[in-house]
Structure 1
Amino acid sequence: MHQPPSYRAHIDGLRAIAVLGVVLFHFGADWLPGGFIGVDVFFVISGFLISRSIFGDMADGSFSIVDFYERRIRRIAPAFLVVTAVTALAASLILLPHEMLIFGRSMLWSVFAAGNIFFYQRLDYFGPGAQEMPLLHYWSLGVEEQFYLVLPALLLLCRRYRPGAVPGMIAVLLLASLVASEAMLRHDPAAAYFLLPFRAFEMLIGSALALPAMRFPASVPVRAGAVLAGCALIVGGMVFITSAMPFPGLLALVPSLGAALVIWGGEKGATLPSRLLSIPPMLFFGRISYSLYLVHWPIVSLVSERFDDLDPTRFLIGGVVASTLLGYLSYRFVEQPVRFNRALFTRARLVGGTTAATLLLAILAQVTISTRGLPMRYEGEVLRLAKFATYKSDHIFRSGSCFIVFSRRDTNLKPECLPTQRPNIILWGNSHIAQFVNAIDDVAKQHGYALGQVTGAACMPFAGGQGGGSPFCATMNAFALDWLLKNRPDIVVIGAVSAAFPEFDEGIAALAKAGIRVVVVGPVPLYRTTVPKILARRLIRGDVDTMAGRDLKPEVAQEDAALKAHFAGNPDVTYLSVLDTGCGGTDCPLSANGEPLQFDASHFTQAGVDFFGLPLARHIFATPDGAAGVSAAPVSSAP
């Protein structure tokens, strides 16, 4: 018969650190930029406790795969299903149709333990941001649930054919997963983040700790030092690791080994550090950690969607308080009764209820998908504006040929991307310059110029430490600089610039020395959320104003002013301000002739290309050589 594991207070304290790190990070605590590593701590804890239970049952001959999955269902399903249902109701009251469609798809995948696969597939440079997906945090549940499917099967196979091979199997799988995770960061960072094979090593660290042969220290100083060192690794990681760093890979060993040290040091008895982990507030947050994790992200997502310009401090404090309250209610009235009241929630009722609720949510998700996001909730003009969120933009960027996107494995530009005629002009940068290509091409042809394009998603020009956030950026930028210096085009137009840095200035100087005229295009209008959403939500409120106002992020003007000052008087650079050429240096329009000028927060529709791109292109060819360092005045805001 299965024996429930003894209560480990220090592990609840460890859960508290993990969940509070995640929650504070998601509610905007910028002093905790690595709070997201709390998920990695959870992975180690889960691997340890699940493996400990399985090993114990196998040792006394009581292991039952049916009992194992019944316990997993009792632990995970009730709160998950309730929170998902409540989130679906709230989402239907807040989200626009395109967002609701994505929500429906994410819910369908998540209820069948594959949310992580869905969110991996949803990686899209021009797609919705994380904050627009209320079930995004379910990716970690998908990873764990898939681990629960694989691990027992492997252990049963080992027990039947090679009982002594379990430690070796865990060690080999752990190392293979770690190596694969680090390698995948260079090729497909999203896969490394979301998919089980590249995350399994964290749970397998917990499994290794649970092996029957594992020895835990008896010495009080060693135990105390291990717990203290583990907490230092975790908290230090939350303070110093950032989302801009390659993760998981080797860097995930910081929270994972930290969690392992806390478990290892606290297993044989209490010490001062482990007692500090066991104080009542820590135990409270540790016990509600699962429900707290479930409820907090829908609050982050849906509140941010519903309310504009939230005060960051109030959002942080109010969000943590609301999440804690709802997390406790879920723990007290959903988790605990189903988990421990087996007289009321028998196995038959548990399985039947879970199956029925899962199918009901799946049906609701399918209805949402088949109707394209329940559009009947809104009136015609709101729907028309909202549809621009699904705007087809490949033609604007020349995606698949001269603009390299995240999903492409072949990062070679096609021959037509680079001109063979003179005079010529080259665009270099990310999507923020690539979106001007057709407007610049039109004007370039009028002046007898051939146009070329070397652009990639999230790629800041010039190779080096700030070359860009995509795996292919350094390679693309090295190719671009080499091609430019060898072929010496007449004009190179550089975009994707928010701030100058040493490699940037050095690269511009090298281009100018080669006799190339350099034009730097400043930042494009960037909004708090997508432009179609801003216009649609204004219309829902009865507001017909189509100027940006406070929805334009103030840092754009600050960056533009800083770049103007930086390049002022530089004879090697012509600096063009998009805010000046398109917005007149004051407020920016959101639409023209009823059409949104941008389909997300920063990328243009064709109307936006005409409105912003044509005046910019005219300035490129109107600005004489030598008039460098001067921000252009508006030519025309009309297409």
Structure 2
Amino acid sequence: MDRDSGNAGAAPPAGHSPRADYLPFVDGLRAFAVIAVIIYHLRPEWLPGGFAGVDVFFVISGFVVSASVSRWDRGGLRDLLAYFYARRMQRIAPALVACLLATMLASALVIPTAWLSSSNDMTGLFAFVGLSNFYLAANHEDYFSPSTDFNPFTHTWSLGVEEQFYLVFPLLFFAWTRGGRWRSLALALFGLALLSSLGDAWLRAHRDPGTAFYLISTRFWQLAAGVLLFLGLSRWNASDALRVRFRQTANAGAGLALVLLGISFWTSEPGAFPFPGAWMPVLGTLGLLAFTQREPSRSLLSSGLASGTLVAIGRRSYSLYLWHWPVLVLLRWTTGVDSWLLAITAVFATAMLAELSYRWVEAPLRYSPALRRWSRIRVLATGLVAIASAATFAVALVKSKPVVSLSTVMRHADEWYPEPLKSLPEKPGCLINKSRRQDGLARSRVYSRMGCAAEPGARAPALFALGDSHALAYVTLLSEYVLHTGATVTLYPNSGCSYANLRTAVESAACVEQHRAILADIARAAKPGDVLFLAALRLNRFSDQDGKPGDYDVLGSLQGKSADQVRDKAEHALLAGLRPLRDAGVRIVFEAPKPLLPAPPFRCSDRFNAVNPICAAGLSVSRSAIEAYRRPVLASLDRLASGLDASVWDPLALLCPGSTCSAARDGHPLFFDGDHISAFANRLLYPSFANFILTGRHP
């Protein structure tokens, strides 16, 4: 997204300019790239490969940034670094910081904390220092997964790649500014870096495609290709005859390159990086730059790309890229962006914000006469202080989200989010104590009580909770059990795996090993009479946090021969795995399936998001439909209970006392999303759960 050569209409820098002449067709090419990206993000089916516009930007950036210092003759490496980094600071930081702060504020107002938004804040904070791509890669946030559509900072990954490239670029390019044989060294350095990056991209793409998509080491080759093109064209000394032939074929060559680029926008596929997905946009961009830059005045395509409208869009391409994604994501979180009216609104809002950003932030600071009179070190230091100050403010904003948020979920977090209770009014002085344990693959959170005397009478059984996120969602209830009884609770996060869900016939090898380690850990810690509580999602959900509006098409998914075979295999595996615990005197309690909802309540809780299409299916479901749906699973649980002398605790009657299962009761949330219960529901269920654990019977 760099635009150093796109400075038409700006006052020339004082003194001799080290930059190459302005090439307006480059801005036209940027316009095509940013339009492709926006169309893809708005409606992927309209331009399936539009994300390749970012590949175009990378090549252009390598080409243009080379032009920006190609005539450098003002001093040594230190002077070049100061000049280059100060220009990068003026060019990139102002608009980026303004966009990040505005997006942070809007996110704090309307986006509640959830699994779907769990990476948002950290992605934005890392973007302030140009490292959001590393954060996304480290957290395996696949660019093409649905969850990234709800992170308003996902697009900053490409800016991170460019900023990291700019840290290395002047060190490699300095040899070129020395002239003579040094220029061959510069070519060799960039060529070697390009080949190394290609190799890294190839290897990583086979091991971890998500990581390969984001990293500078796998993207460097695209930027280096632009650099090498500029350096190669700068050294090109063709004969007169060859020049004439080049002029004759320039239009045809540029047209062919444009066709190749268009094909890439239409055919590039997710997961095809780097081969073959990134090759076509890179080659197409290189061809356009080569043919139009070498003979720009004679190329019809160059004249078309240099048209006023395209150049105007190209000059604003950086701001357009910055703002289009937060606009789309914030609409997804609120009204949705499914209708034509909302799509047009998104485009209009993007254009307006980009124009304001360009006119009042980007251009003024980039071309400021006052800043030109400053030393480059002063510009750089001031920029770093401004970024640090903005990032500090952003951190404070993230921490204050429960206070500033407009979201009902955030304002009433104690009812929506299951969290461990710290204390109870009826148990003065009793506090919860949480510790973490890890024994190999068995990671656990241990909750115990401190600060009060032991309960009189028989010892309450210790609890061990295992399953998946549905076991974790009972943490409020489990902590209340600890505070009331003084017994300990050991909760296993079971990351990436699900135990006893009866929907998976064969677990992955990693999950099998993890579950074996957890069961062994329970066997070592549990005493006769202690309880293993198994809670998991045992029904196929109607909707997900990031999915389409829910429906009941899955109601029959647990019936039929195939589903019966899956549960039969799962039952046999569970019987074999749990019998040693049963034989050791551990009591096993299964959770019966809870109601499911067609839409996630946390995304439909306010006026600004209640009309979102994901809420259209409603926040209630027929109890009779749920009972019929879960009947085959209950039959499996009954067979397991018989084979293990176990029992089944059923929360359905309390969560759904009437003929309709709803998301809320008397204004209080029962469910957080379409299948996880809320903190309020935890407290509602506690008496029944505690009675069942202590007596073995439902009240």
The TM-score bracket by the shorter chain reads 0.5 to 0.7
Among 117, 121, 130, the residue aligned to 1:113: 130
Q: Distance in 2 between matches of 1:376 and 1:90?
A: 9
Deviation at 1:72, TM superposition (A): 1.2
Of 486, 489, 495, 1:399 maps to: 495
Corresponding residue of 1:267: 293
Give 1:292 shift.
1.0
Query: Which residue does 1:37 correspond to in 2?
Result: 52
Alpha-carbon contact 1:70-1:347 (below 8 Å) kept: no
Question: CA separation in 2, counterparts of 1:56 and 1:171?
Answer: 21
**Structure-2 change in CA distance of 1:85 and 1:163 (3 Å):** same
- 1: CA distance between counterparts of 2:515 and 2:104? 45
Find out whether 1:384 has 2:480 as its counterpart. no
> In 2, are the aligned partners of 1:113 and 1:142 still within 8 Å (CA)?
yes
Q: In structure 1, how many angstroms separate the alpha carbons of the residues matched to 2:205 and 2:89?
A: 33
Judging changes above 3 Å, is the alpha-carbon distance between structure 1 residues 43 and 552 closer, same or farther for their aligned structure 2 residues? Answer: farther
Partner of 2:109 in structure 1?
Answer: 93
For residue 71 of structure 2, give the secondary structure of its aligned residue in structure 1. helix
Q: Is the 8 A contact 1:101 1:369 kept in 2?
A: no
Q: 1:120-142, CA deviations, whole angstroms, 9 ceiling, x for partnerless residues?
A: 234369x9922332222111111
Shift of 1:598: 5.8
Give yes or no for contact 1:226–1:264 (8 Å, CA) kept in 2: no
Query: Is it true that 1:183 corresponds to 2:203 in the alignment?
Result: yes
Query: Whole-Å Cα distance in 1 between the matches of residues 419 and 604 of structure 2?
Result: 11
| Aligned-partner SS, 1:186 | helix
CA displacement, residues 232-251 of structure 1 (integer Å, 9 cap, x when unaligned): 122222222233x4334442
Cα distance in 2 for partners of 1:367, 1:376 equals: 13
- Measure how far apart 1:222 and its partner are: 2.5
Question: Matched residues in 1 for 2:285 and 2:419: separation?
Answer: 42
Match of residue 347 from structure 2? 320
Which entry has the higher C-alpha Rg, 1 or 2? 2
Question: What is the SS of the residue equivalent to 1:225?
Answer: helix
Q: Deviations over 1:206-251 (max 9, x none)?
A: 01102143578842342212321222122222222233x4334442
Answer yes or no: is the 8 Å Cα contact 1:292–1:324 preserved in 2.
yes
Q: Where do 1:397-476 residues align within 5 Å?
A: 398-400=494-496, 412-414=510-512, 438=536
Match status 1:213 vs 2:238: no
Which residue of the partner structure matches residue 131 of structure 1? Answer: 149
What residue is the counterpart of 1:622 in the other structure? none
Judging changes above 3 Å, is the alpha-carbon distance between structure 1 residues 374 and 123 closer, same or farther for their aligned structure 2 residues?
farther
Distance in structure 1 (CA, Å) of the matches to 2:536 and 2:117: 33
Matching residue within 248, 251, 267 for 2:277: 251
Q: Please state whether the residue corresponding to 1:343 is helix, strand or coil.
A: helix
Q: Secondary structure in 2 aligned to 1:324?
A: helix
Query: Residue 86 of structure 2 aligns with which residue?
Result: 70
Residue number in structure 2 paired with 1:359: 388
Q: Name the CA shift for 1:186/1:29 in 2 (closer, same or farther; >3 Å).
A: closer
| 1:194/1:366 CA distance change after superposition, 3 Å | same
Answer yes or no: is the 8 Å Cα contact 2:107–2:330 preserved in 1: yes
Q: Is the 8 A contact 1:34 1:241 kept in 2?
A: yes
For residues 287 and 416 of structure 1, what CA distance do their matches in structure 2 show? 54
Residues 415 and 678 of structure 2 are in contact (CA less than 8 Å); yes or no, is this contact kept in structure 1?
no
Distance in 2, Cα, partners of 1:437 & 1:269:
69
Cα distance change on mapping 1:369 and 1:68 into 2, 3 Å: same
Aligned pairs (5 A) from 1:492-511: none
Partners in 1 of 2:157 and 2:193 — Cα distance?
21
Instruction: Confirm or deny: 8 A CA contact 1:44 1:204 kept in the other structure.
Output: yes
- Comparing 87-96 with 52-61, greater Cα deviation is found at 52-61
Query: Relative to structure 1, is the Cα distance of residues 605 and 111 closer, same or farther in structure 2, using a 3 angstrom cutoff?
Result: same
Structure 1 residue 269, shift from structure 2 partner: 2.1
Q: Which residue is equivalent to 2:446?
A: none
**C-alpha displacement at 1:93, in angstroms?**
2.7
* SS of aligned partner of 1:228: helix
Residues 78-89 of structure 1: pairs in structure 2 closer than 5 A: 78-89=94-105
Residue by residue over 1:528-559, the C-alpha shift from the partner in whole angstroms, topping out at 9 and shown as x without a partner, is xx542324x36x89x8x9x9861469xxxxxx
Counterpart in the other structure of 2:616: 550
Change (3 A) 1:377 1:439: closer
Q: Which moved more, 1:95-104 or 1:279-288?
A: 95-104
Check 1:549–1:175 CA distance in 2 against 1; reply closer, same or farther (3 A cut). Answer: closer
Q: Determine the C-alpha separation between the residues in 2 that align with 1:34 and 1:378.
A: 35
TM-score by length of 1: 0.64
The one-letter amino acid of 2:602's match is P
CA contact (8 A) 1:77 1:354 kept: yes
For residues 549 and 312 of structure 1, do their structure 2 counterparts lie closer, same or farther at Cα, with a shift above 3 Å needed?
closer
Instruction: Give the drift of 1:604.
Output: 4.3
Checking the alignment, whether the CA contact within 8 Å between 2:131 and 2:160 is kept in structure 1 is yes
Aligned to 1:335: 362
1:176-202 per-residue CA deviation (whole Å, 9 max, x = no partner) reads 212221221222122111111011111
> For 2:369, what is the secondary structure of its paired residue?
coil
Q: Which residue of 1 aligns with 2:691?
A: none
SS of aligned partner of 2:294: coil
Partner of 2:397: 368
Contact 2:62-2:224 within 8 A present in 1 as well: yes
CA deviations over 1:409-445 (Å, ceiling 9, x no partner): x964425869xxxxxxxxxxxxxxxxx984769xxxx
CA–CA distance in 2 between the matches of 1:378 and 1:194? 32
Decide which of 28, 31, 37 is 1:16's aligned counterpart: 31
Change (3 A) 1:32 1:67: same
Structure 2 residue aligned with 1:278: 306
Give yes or no for the alignment of 1:199 onto 2:276.
no
1:153 counterpart = 2:180: no
Separation of aligned partners in 1, 2:64 and 2:171? 17
What residue number does 2:462 align with?
A: none
Q: Per-residue CA shift, 1:557-601, capped at 9, x if unaligned?
A: xxxxxxx9xxxxxxxxxxxxxxxxx99xx99744689555464xx
Deviation at 1:21, TM superposition (A): 0.6
Distance 1:351 1:177, change over 3 A: closer
Indicate the RMSD between aligned Cα atoms, in angstroms.
Answer: 4.8
Where structure 2 has 5 or more consecutive residues not aligned to the other structure, the ranges are 1-15, 421-466, 473-492, 500-507, 517-533, 540-545, 547-561, 572-595, 620-628, 630-654, 683-697
Deviation string for 1:480-517 (max 9, x for gaps)?
xxxx9xxx9883589xxxxxxxxxxxxxxxxxxxxxxx
Per-residue deviation, residues 360-394 of structure 1 (Å, max 9, x unmatched): 21111221344566567666863235536999828
Answer yes or no: is the 8 Å Cα contact 2:597–2:663 preserved in 1: no
Structure 1 unpaired stretches of 5+: 404-409, 419-435, 442-457, 459-483, 495-523, 554-563, 565-581, 611-637
Change beyond 3 A, Cα 1:37–1:526: farther
Which secondary structure state, in structure 2, belongs to the residue aligned with residue 56 of structure 1? coil
Matched, 1:26 2:33: no
Indicate conservation of the 8 Å contact 1:18/1:41, yes or no: yes
- Specify the alignment match of 1:561 in structure 2: none
How many correspondences in the alignment? 484
Distance 1:109 1:290 in 2: 19
Note if contact 1:174-1:205 (Cα within 8 Å) is conserved in structure 2.
Answer: yes
**CA 388–8 in structure 1, closer or farther in 2 if over 3 Å, else same:** farther
Amino acid at match of 1:491: D
Deviation at 1:36, TM superposition (A): 1.1
CA contact under 8 A between 1:549 and 1:587: conserved in structure 2?
no
* SS of aligned partner of 2:259: helix
Shift, 1:205, TM fit: 0.7
* 2:273 alignment partner, SS class: coil
